[in-house]
Structure 1
Amino acid sequence: MKKLNGIKLKHRKNTENSVTVQFPVPETVHIPMSMTMGAPCQPLVKVGEDVHVGQKIGDTDAAFSAPVHSGVSGKVKSITDYRNAMGVVCKMVEIECDGLQTVSDEVKPPVVTDKESFIKAVRDSGACGLGGAGFPTHIKLNPKNEIDTLIINAAECEPYITADYREMMENPQDIIKGINMVKNQLGIKYAKLAIESNKPEAIKNFSEMANNDDSIDIITLPSAYPQGAEKVIIYNSTGRIVNEGSLPADVGVIVMNVSTVAFLYRYMQTGMPLVTRRLTVDGNAVREPQNVSAVIGTSFRDILEFCKADVESIIKLIAGGPMMGMSIPDIDMPVVKTSNALLAFNHYDERQTSSCIRCGRCVRVCPLGLMPADIDRAYKIKDIEELKKLKVMLCMNCGSCTYVCPANRKLAETNQLAKALIPRK
């Protein structure tokens, strides 16, 4: 089967053999009430209250959301407004840690007897897509359509990031058991664990583990970007096409990040919700690149100093990978549920933009066959009907077009601005 277009990147997996290091409990944590797609939560605690590890401190009645929990024990110091890197404002709970890490009485393995109680337990865990998108997992696992295939996304195609790879190397049993748990609870027949070819040891280990299980296929995908994008990994794993305006469930598929499925298995055994995050810390301003596990709410500054970064020299800070990550305006922003990497740079090449030379490279590399140069022209004249014809809403902002453009045009950025012009149904 022909694979979708993409680009070859220098993966720079400097930390692939760096065993995860536990970051010490900080003096204070700042926990935003919005860390996933969907509605923000409202604080369930007040200033001066004691909190414990695993305690739910934020929730909402909105269906499309996930609750927020504390990863530390201590006292609520303040509740303030917080603006994240996307400009979204929500409440933020500041907790002064007592260092005792007393576990809350709320933490106990959930009782799961059927699909409904399983979905409730998934929501109670606070789980979301740990690959960076932050889609609430209980919504994803409860589609209206019949699902026959579960795809576990273990591509991790972004440069630098090795957080999922360390999950695969350090907790492979949790992944396999998590896959079987989800399959059994949702009545899904088949599972595909899709891994990029640049992770041969992980492929070998999982192939041996799944050797006697006909319901789990270990798929080796070419090492190409953006292999881990949802529509791409679905097509390259199954041949199924997710059309514009459709969801993976519409073609009988659910896609889960490999770290998410492992976390869910552990939660069902222990009842400890999502309160920590493993993130890759790298970049030319970091003297000791490594994978760090920290409680949610730990400041980026503390993480960088732990990794011996020269914080005063940093001129570019990225949460996530360099292709689809988010530029961070404040080094004191906190680790959140979707934090899978922190990249700090003290120098980089700022490329100058020039006129389009109509070379067509952006078209050739687009996995979805879009025409970024034409979208760019239509956006400039605000031609909404033309943008619809050009299928701009299919763009997943992978950045491949920008990466290959010899004129250094910010095509992916323009695509996102163009999508904002299209009225939402």
Structure 2
Amino acid sequence: MIGSGGFSGGVHPKQMKITAGSPIVQSPLPPRLILPLKQHIGQICTPIVEVGERVLRGQKIAKSQGYVSAPVHAPTSGTVLAIEEHAVPHPSGMGRLCIIIEPDGKDEADESLPPITDYRAEDPGVIRERIRLSGIVGLGGAVFPTFIKMLRDHRHPVEMVILNGIECEPYLTCDHRLMLEHSAAIVRGLDIIMHAVEAQRGVIAIEDNKPDAIAAMQQALADIAFEHIEVRVLPTLYPQGSEKQLIQSVTGRQVPAGKLPLHIGVLCQNVGTTRAIHDAVCLGQPLTQRVVTVSGDAVPSPANISVRIGTPIPFVLAQCGLEDLSGVRLIHGGPMMGERLSRLNVPLVKSTNGLLAMRQEALYSENAVEEPCIRCGHCVTVCPVGLVPNELAWHCRNDQFDRGQEYDLFDCIECGCCSYVCPSHIPLVHYFRYAKGQVAKIEKERSFAELSKARSEARDNRLAHEQAERAARRSKVRKQQAGDAAGEEVSGAETSGDGKEDKA
């Protein structure tokens, strides 16, 4: 059926999905695997292996540190060569602590997570724990630890699970191919999620530009006879795949500002995440590889590739015929929400859904000269969140972060619609990301200052308390000494008096 509800704004960029008809191919093992210990929102993991140690495919090599975290597993068997800082996919070219593995070519598996053959017979908590142990995060780009989204909240029970099969970013087709080639696993993965959160309804949301995927998922549902799950077809519109916009399109309800989908009884999961959940539960396989779309005008043979996490990106590009990276602009993700990488020798990570190698502009000019805002209002019209991007950007670029927050800075989903339509070539999303980063930095510094102040006050109080205790002890000693001295004087006087009486 055609979904109702919809959301305001949105754009129709060129789709450029030239790999939609390209079946998923398996990438060979690279000479080295580089595994960052932070591939998720939350705290960095702690290594639990040592240099020189042999590891197996699926073996946990870094454990979660803190609650919001996701463990890291070895993508194949081999030897740990180093545990050191290495550049990771980030616009700044920043480095993170990584475990570097040399594959031995045997691909021997660790079997510490046995398959769960009848997941419906298991307690939902057992399924959620399996998902946690498997290191699964949101593979649509958010990389939030999946088990946390699935925790039960009796105040807000989940009524509906929405499977996000939208994939509205231009160029990207990895989710499209997954739905075509692994439809049964995805449907079972959705059923696993529904059991884990005790939801009664499941919806597979797909845009109408993917008729083959729609047919594949409908056939999978018919084959398995899951009557509690339906396919919902939505009109093609960017950014329909954004969580809150998708929920509004499917349910007709808005997630209130500052709230989560859980607060209206909805849980969303990405296609790739759902397939990973199926593999973790039914096959006992933690998250060690993912499907990536490699495309762009610099790529001789664009493809959808299943790649081991930690594979160096130049190695992946070489599988598609691109070996000379001189003059190439590399985008991590899609052209609308992805980020341009300043360093190319970085690993593919859990969040890598696309690699775009471009010699020309992807969709709109990144190098055009920024001109003054002409107040045309196009950015306001297309904003799916209902913001006023031109006003917000003015405050952000002038470091007026308090005013920016008054204009709902943190409601911005960074979809790029405003930048896409701006005739003045103003990099609006760039300013919003900058402002968010600065606010986070200020809050961190403020928290650190408050913590330092609290520690200083606690230290002063402790020292004052210790000083008071020492003074009390000294006073007690002095009083005791004074009492002893007085006693000695009395004793001496009595002794002296007794002597006089004897002489008398």
Please give the range of the TM-score, normalised by the shorter of the 2 chains.
Answer: over 0.9
Name the TM-score, length of structure 2 as normaliser. 0.81
Greater CA deviation, 42-51 or 74-83?
74-83
Match of 2:41 among 17, 20, 37: 37
- Residues 364-383 of structure 1: matches in 2 within 5 Å? 364-383=381-400
Q: Which residue of 2 aligns with 1:341?
A: 354
SS, match of residue 325 in structure 2: helix
Q: Which runs of 5+ in 2 are unaligned?
A: 448-504
Matched, 1:395 2:412: yes
Match of 2:297 among 284, 287, 307: 284
How far off its partner does 1:55 sit?
Answer: 0.5
Q: Structure 2 CA distance, aligned partners of 1:52 and 1:323?
A: 38
How far off its partner does 1:379 sit?
Answer: 2.1
How far off its partner does 1:337 sit?
Answer: 1.0
How far off its partner does 1:208 sit?
Answer: 3.7
Match of 1:97 among 94, 103, 113: 103
Instruction: For 2:201, give the aligned amino acid.
Output: Y
Instruction: For 2:30, give the aligned amino acid.
Output: P
Q: Which residue of 1 aligns with 2:6?
A: 3
Instruction: For 1:13, give the aligned amino acid.
Output: K
Q: Structure 1 CA distance, aligned partners of 2:330 and 2:345?
A: 11
How far off its partner does 1:294 sit?
Answer: 1.3
Q: Which residue of 2 aligns with 1:114?
A: 123
- Residues 196-275 of structure 1: matches in 2 within 5 Å? 196-210=207-221, 213-275=226-288
SS, match of residue 186 in structure 2: helix
Indicate conservation of the 8 Å contact 2:168/2:238, yes or no: yes
Q: Structure 2 CA distance, aligned partners of 1:164 and 1:122?
A: 20
Higher helix fraction (1 or 2): 2
SS, match of residue 313 in structure 1: coil
Q: Structure 2 CA distance, aligned partners of 1:384 and 1:156?
A: 32
Q: Which residue of 1 aligns with 2:140?
A: 131
Tell me the alpha carbon deviations over residues 347-374 of structure 1, each in whole angstroms, 9 at most, x when there is no partner.
Answer: 3342111010000000000001100011
Name the TM-score, length of structure 1 as normaliser. 0.96
Q: Structure 2 CA distance, aligned partners of 1:380 and 1:16?
A: 39
How far off its partner does 1:422 sit?
Answer: 4.5
SS, match of residue 192 in structure 1: strand
Matched, 1:320 2:333: yes
Q: Structure 1 CA distance, aligned partners of 2:258 and 2:185?
A: 34
Mark the structure with the bigger radius of gyration: 2
Over aligned residue pairs, what C-alpha RMSD do you find?
1.8
Q: Which residue of 2 aligns with 1:64?
A: 68
Indicate conservation of the 8 Å contact 1:69/1:126, yes or no: yes
Instruction: For 1:302, give the aligned amino acid.
Output: F
Indicate conservation of the 8 Å contact 1:53/1:102, yes or no: yes
Q: Which residue of 1 aligns with 2:173?
A: 162
Q: Which residue of 2 aligns with 1:406?
A: 423
Instruction: For 2:84, give the aligned amino acid.
Output: T
How far off its partner does 1:421 sit?
Answer: 4.8
Q: Structure 1 CA distance, aligned partners of 2:326 and 2:394?
A: 38
Q: Structure 2 CA distance, aligned partners of 1:79 and 1:422?
A: 32
Indicate conservation of the 8 Å contact 2:36/2:99, yes or no: yes
Q: Which residue of 1 aligns with 2:309?
A: 296
Indicate conservation of the 8 Å contact 2:5/2:251, yes or no: no
Instruction: For 1:51, give the aligned amino acid.
Output: V
